Amino acid sequence: MKLFRLVTTLLLVAVIVLFVRQNMATFQRDLDFSLYLFIREDVRWTLKVSTVIFLAGFVGLLVGLALMFRPFNQTRKVLQAERSEKERLLAERAMAAEDMPARLPDEPQAQRRPVSEPPSNTDAPA
């Protein structure tokens, strides 16, 4: 299984390298951008295609991380609430155990007959 994973990873990397090498001329082209805010004149600048792709990927990564951490944080809050509830219940149980009177060691317990002893029969004639 490790060999299969290695081979597929190498094939994927090879395809990515071939894609980048064949499209290097395209990635080096400049793109013209302009922004008109109705406040002053147009703002113009140029970026390479590779820079635009990198920026789009980085913004997508940040948005993905932000969306991923929302359920993670909600789960952490729920677990923290459960832990605090458990601690509260354990503290209440300890307080209740302290309030109960302790059993004295010389207090007689219920007299029990050993299992090996036969039951005494007082009704039988002597």
Q: In this predicted structure, what is the pLDDT of residue 27?
A: 87
User: pLDDT at position 105, please?
Assistant: 55
Give per-residue pLDDT as tens, 79-101.
Answer: 999 999 999 999 999 888 887 76
| pLDDT at site 37 | 78
How would residue 109 be classed by pLDDT, with cut points 50, 70 and 90?
low
7 beta partners: none
What is residue 124's three-state secondary structure?
coil
Which pLDDT score is estimated for 18? 96
**pLDDT of res. 103:** 56
CA dihedral 23, 21, 14, 54 (to 10 degrees): -60
Per-residue CA distances from 113 to 20, 32, 94, 99, 123 (Å) = 90, 100, 35, 33, 18
Q: What's the CA gap between 20 and 33, in Å, rounded?
A: 24
Q: What local confidence, expressed as pLDDT, does residue 96 receive?
A: 86
Concatenate the DSSP letters of all residues of 76-112 into one string.
HHHHHHHHHHHHHHHHHHHHHHHHSPPPPTTSPPPP-
Which 8-state DSSP code applies to residue 109?
P
Residue 50: helix, strand or coil by DSSP?
helix
Domain boundaries, the chain: 23-99
Of 37 and 16, the one with more pLDDT: 16
Q: Give pLDDT, residue 112.
A: 57
pLDDT digits (tens, 9 = 90+) for 25-70: 988 899 888 888 788 788 888 889 889 999 999 999 999 999 999 8
